[in-house]
Amino acid sequence: MDGKVWLALGVILAVGLAIAAAVLLVRVFAARKLLLDSGIPLQDKALFWVAVVYTISPVDLIPDPVYLDDVGFLLLALRSLQAAAGAVRTSKDPGATV
């Protein structure tokens, strides 16, 4: 394969990862209503804001053409918030399904 094919593949991969990061950022912001829940631990709430700041920050662990670190932090924040919300729901209503 020549250089143009590799460049095209790189651009497609970068665009795909950027779209994935944008979708995850929207999902994290959709979960922001959990921040108002008093039962969610402060650690999980802080992780949300750290993930948002890290995603829009120009400082990255991996240079920005590769959004793997941004996607990873967003996934971590989203899973942490959802797990904390699930734990709060089960402690408030032991018979409820999560």
Instruction: State pLDDT tens for residues 63-80.
Output: 766 677 777 888 888 888
Residue 27 scores a pLDDT above 60? yes
User: Residue 28: its pLDDT value, please?
Assistant: 72
Query: Residue 22 has what pLDDT?
Result: 80
pTM recorded for the entire structure? 0.60
CB 51, CB 73: distance < 8 Å: yes
Percent of the chain with pLDDT over 90: 1
- Under the banding of pLDDT at 50, 70 and 90, the label for residue 1 is low
